Chains A and B, each alone.
Chain A
Amino acid sequence: MKLEDLRKIRERGEKDISLRRGDARVNVVIGMGTSGIAAGARNVMSAFLDEIGKRELGDTIVTQTGGRGLASSEPVVEVHVKNEPVVVYGEMTDDKARRVVAEHIVNGSPVSEYVIEVRE
């Protein structure tokens, strides 16, 4: 192993332990209350995790919250990007989740047709 090899391992490793640094740029919050789970929030979360993994987004974390009283719009997902308003998406599915990752998290433009609320 040379110094360059060491640095490559480091780069990979940094992504691997990024959760512990607490400095994520994007936090995807999935509503996992009873109604959220019933409406398929688990699948939506898996889709987010899968897509984030494929794209190696070391700066994005996925967390959960309880129901927020938007049962009719479940599964509900909030995307918190640092220094930007919180965007709330409703009636999420596997495909919609992948689009949010690509367009909102990677390219920075929220997918307006799924948005149900924007909070400062």
Chain B
Amino acid sequence: MPHRLDVLVCSGAACVSNHSAAVRDALQTAIEAHGLSTEVRLVETGCMGPCELGPVLLVYPEGSLYIRVSPEDANEIVEEHFLKGRPVQRLLWEDPEARRIAEEKKQVPFFERQEKVVLSNCGTIDPENLQEYIATGGYEALGQALTERTSEELIQIILDSKLRGRGGAGFPTGLKWQLAAKAKGDTRYIVCNGDEGDPGAFMDRALLEGDPHAVLEGMTIAAYAIKASRGFIYVRAEYPLAIKRLEIAIEQARASGLLGNNILETEFSFDVEIRIGAGAFVCGEETALIASIEGERGMPRPRPPYPSDVGVFGQPTLINNAETWGNIRHIVLRGATWFRSIGTESSPGTKVFALSGKVNNTGIVEVPMGTTLRELIFEIGGGIPDGKKLKAVQTGGPSGGCIPAQYMDTPIDYESLKELGAFMGSGGVIVLDEDDCMVGIAKYFLEFSCDESCGKCIPCRVGTRQMLSILERITEGGGSMDDLDQLQTLASTIQTTSLCGLGQAAPSPVLSTIEHYRNEYEAHVNEATCPAKRCKALIRYEIEPEACKACDLCRKACPVEAIEGTPGEPPYQIHQSVCIQCGRCFDVCPFGAVRIESGTKKQDEVEG
């Protein structure tokens, strides 16, 4: 008997952290209790995208999208919906403006405006079930490649598709394949770069967890095209679920003759192993990644020679990012012309983005290249929470920059972002609102690069440290206008003389914020004020006596006992000498009596 309901339980890392496994177990129990085991099938899928709304359930054939489901809801869903056919309205997604409940997933704007190619299987199939992958056309591209295409033809298809590396720099993928195919060596290697490390980026994780076979298939097609016999997937130890699902996928592919010797009973053999990185950002740089695969310390080396000539164990190596690999099977099956019909002239195809920060719908989205930032943030992302104003969008992580709100109609492609001093990067998009301090943001990213610098070259190791100490000084109110010049001088030296991309791009967040938000830097330097009231050293918290109701909440919340007062006897008072500016009192006050004032503690004490 076939199932009449497919219940898809999102089991991406974000939903797993929200206890989707407990929801699944509760559903399973309730389904059995109602005698529906043969009619209802539970399927655990990869990330569906709307991580903010997790744990998420999708019920087919209706397409009902249940959000924020807890184990306690399981019985009601099974009894009302699965048994009686009445979807549980209170758990369905509701349009926040129209106050309209979406009966189907396709009525939800978050999904409606996306175009899923690379992630077409993420959230719709069980990533641990090879048959489901095959049912979506999986391994058909590999089969056709091995039986109907020559190496040259395959490389030509990728060249014609104009696919560009999704890791960030946007190098033409076909050219990489061609170079690796032509290079001389005893053997050749294929590498998947899954060392996703930028803060706010989790695209590769979604793909590796949600559709691991797609990455394997892309790599295997490339191996046939450039005549490689071994491959490595480099993925960080922080992604245990991705590693587990990759391991399962590799085992299944081997057992079914889709990996290993004589793939699909042809002459072609290729095998893949996983290399687990220890979570060093620098290992996203390809030469450092290769060193790490070889068992060396993950440090970059000068290029040329490029990995296509001298890569893993000194042999020609083709290294692409996980998302790039995810595109290959679709291009081989549907052709270069189809691929070029999506996106823009110079940046064809789609791009996966991880939306995070001050945006309503955080999560994973895939849109055609050329989509504007406005569409991404407001239509798919659902805008900025709490009625705040958008200030800027940070793309490209520690190697990228901030794009101010007035440029929201910029189409997202490699060139347009570069013109604005930002960078496509691997797809992390962090939304900033009016409460974010741009100097603080620059400091945050620079701190990250400084920590992650491998230390091999001086400009990066010492230069980023120097820049960071200047930024620290500025955010503490001790900066001068000379510091701004000094930052720019250091930045240009670091950019031009660092050994690898980490150092070369590390100053970008600082430069882009100085360019677009010079007034904020000047306010910190000249007036010792933080316009966004974020820099702790430049603000103080005060209780407005008239507004205080002596409810005692702030005093209880204060972790350092800086607040004094007696319940019912307003006003309370904050002792500035003890206060650590953590903001807890501000958050808990129900009367808005706690205010953030500009001014350093020092001034306050002098005045007081």
Contact = CB atoms under 8 A, between A and B. Distances in A.
Contacts of B134: 6, 9-10, 13
Report whether over half of chain A's contact residues are helix, strand or loop; otherwise say mixed.
helix
A17 B85 contact: no
Contact of A20 (B6, B85, B146, B257): B6
Nearest to A62: B4
B3 A17 contact: no
Interface string B104-148: 001000000000000000001100000110111111100110110
B264 A1 contact: yes
Interface in B239-287: 256-258, 264-265
Nearest to B58: A20
Report, as a range, how many residues of chain B touch the other chain: 35 or more
A6 B125 contact: no
Nearest to B255: A1
Contacts of B257: 1
A79 to B, nearest CB: 15
B61 A10 contact: no
Interface in A1-49: 1-3, 6-7, 9-10, 12-17, 19-20, 22, 24, 27, 30, 32-33, 37, 45-46, 49
A2 B264 contact: yes
Contact of B8 (A20, A30, A66): A20
Given A6-B140, A10-B134, A22-B60, A63 B85 contact: yes
B140 A1 contact: no
A50 B1 CA distance: 5
Contact of B124 (A12, A20, A65): A20
A61 B258 contact: no
A53 B1 CA distance: 5
A19 B143 contact: no
A17 B2 contact: no
A64 interface: yes
Contacts of A46: 1, 39
A52 interface: yes
B294 interface: no
A63 to B, nearest CB: 6
Contacts of B137: 10
B92 to A, nearest CB: 16
B139 A6 contact: yes
A13 B132 contact: yes
Interface of B: 1-6, 8, 39, 60-63, 83-86, 106, 124-125, 131-132, 134-140, 143-144, 146-147, 256-258, 264-265
Given A49-B1, A61-B4, 4 more contacts: A1-B264, A1-B265, A10-B137, A63-B62
9 contacts: A3-B143, A6-B139, A10-B134, A12-B135, A19-B6, A32-B83, A45-B4, A46-B39, A65-B85
